[in-house]
Structures are given as structure tokens and as C-alpha cells.
Amino acid sequence: MPLLQRVKTGIPGLDSLIEGGLVENSVILVSGGTGCGKTILASQFIYHGLERGDPGLYITLEETPEDIRADSLQFGWDFQKYEKKGLCKIIYHDPAQINNIGTVILDELSRSRAKRLAIDSTSVMTLAMENPAQIRKKLYGIISTIKRAGHTTALLMADIPEGSKGLSMFGVEEFVADAVIVLSYLGVEGSTSRSLQIRKMRRTDHGKDVYPMVISKKGIAIRQSEI
């Protein structure tokens, strides 16, 4: 059986928990509440790839590309440098104006030949839908589209409502993705803590604990000690 190709995340402490990296051409759901670091993790993943020569594509459905670029500069990640070289695209799409997001994604992937993709966030794409089966079908279609491109490892960001014990907003996203990484944020009496948990990852013997996560001027890092 051929050895699986792995994609380094660029998140210190994470790759050693997932057998060296994400499975190439897989789709990973990264879910969490407000302020837990989802956008930072997505930006760090894309930027690490750019430093290694992997073309990247960031599709934002909420924040503007200008905001993502400005926020990333706080960690020393200069996306414009790579955009000028044609190695990276950060683009905004209004989900309310898109009839077929899958076609949009496939077109963008075909043009960019991106090896790394981040979509922020899937929750916005499905807000107008109420039927869980319809939401699941739409997300499955998006994931199938990404895999059909054949050269892209993707992060799909998803929101978890405040106070929810679920893994995603609608409770279906985690079933269609190849992997689920949950970020958590806890604020108590003026102090805060963040953590990461790998809830599932196909074809990977991954860490099963809840791991402390820190955000510094260099970005996100995972401490491999149990909470």
C-alpha cells in the first residue's frame, strides 16, 4: 500500500499529533466559537505553504481581503508579496450572490492551481438553509468539488454558536469532512485560555487529548500536554 502524502500545517506542535501532517487532497473542518483563532489558523496554513512554494487560495465569505492581509501582517505574514508573484489569491465572494458556490470554487482552483485552500466560513454559505439534509448535501457537493480538482488540501472554517456543545453550527458539517479540528476559547475572570482537539482524521492515528493552544506574535502553536 503506497505511503500517504502528508501536508505540513505550519502550526508548531500540531503535525506530530497527526502523523506528520494533513493527508494530501483531504478536506478538514476547523470549527470553533468567536475568538478561538480559526482565521489565524487558516492564514498560517496558507502562508506556510507559500513559504514552501505551494500556491494558496483563501476564499473569504465574511471578512474583506484587506482585513485578512492587515491582520496577517501582525504575525509577519506578508500575503501581498506572494500575491504579486501570482502564488496567492485572497478573494471575497458574497454568498448571497452566488447560486453555485461549487462552480465558483472549482473555477478558482483551476485558475490558481492552488495546493492549499481555506474557505472562511462554511456557516455563512448555509445560513439561508433550514433543512439539515439540504445543508449536508450542499457541503458534500463542495467537498466533492475540491477533491475533484485533485491537487488541493483544504480547510473549511465553521462557527460553533456560543454555549453549544456541538462540533459545528448545524451539526452536519463534521460528517462530510475527512477530518474535524475543534478550537475552543475559555474566558474566566479576566484570564483566557484556548485549546485544540482533533475529533477525527481519516487514515491518521491522531492525538486524542485536548491540547493547550497559544497565540503569540508568531501565530498559533500547540503545547503537547494534556488539559
CATH code for the domain of 122:
3.40.50.300
What average pLDDT does this structure show over 135-160?
88
Is there a domain that residue 63 lies in? yes
Q: Which run of H or of E encompasses 117?
A: strand 116-120
Give the structural domain span for 90: 6-222
Say whether 145 sits in a helix, a strand or coil: helix
pLDDT reported for residue 104: 85
What share of the chain has pLDDT > 90, as a percent? 60
* 76 contacts: CB under 8 Å, gap ≥ 6: 217, 218
* 55 contacts: CB under 8 Å, gap ≥ 6: 49, 87, 88, 112, 113, 114, 115, 116
Is there a domain that residue 227 lies in? no
Which is higher by pLDDT, 190 or 196?
196
pLDDT reported for residue 165: 63
Question: In total, how many domains does the chain have?
Answer: 1
pLDDT reported for residue 129: 59
Confidence of residue 118 (pLDDT cuts 50, 70, 90): very high
Which is higher by pLDDT, 171 or 77?
77
pLDDT reported for residue 167: 59
Is there a domain that residue 1 lies in? no
Which is higher by pLDDT, 199 or 187?
199
- Which range is least confidently modeled, 46-50, 162-166, 175-179? 162-166
Task: Read off the pLDDT of residues 25-35 as tens digits, 9 standing for 90 and up.
Answer: 999 999 998 88
pLDDT of 52 > 80? The answer is yes
Cell output for 121: 466560513
- Which range is least confidently modeled, 5-9, 123-127, 192-196? 123-127
Is there a domain that residue 82 lies in? yes
pLDDT of 169 > 70? The answer is no
Confidence of residue 227 (pLDDT cuts 50, 70, 90): very low
Is there a domain that residue 109 lies in? yes
Q: Is 30 in contact with 155 (CB distance < 8 Å)?
A: yes
Is there a domain that residue 178 lies in? yes
Q: Is 58 in contact with 42 (CB distance < 8 Å)?
A: yes
pLDDT of 119 > 90? The answer is yes
pLDDT of 36 > 90? The answer is yes
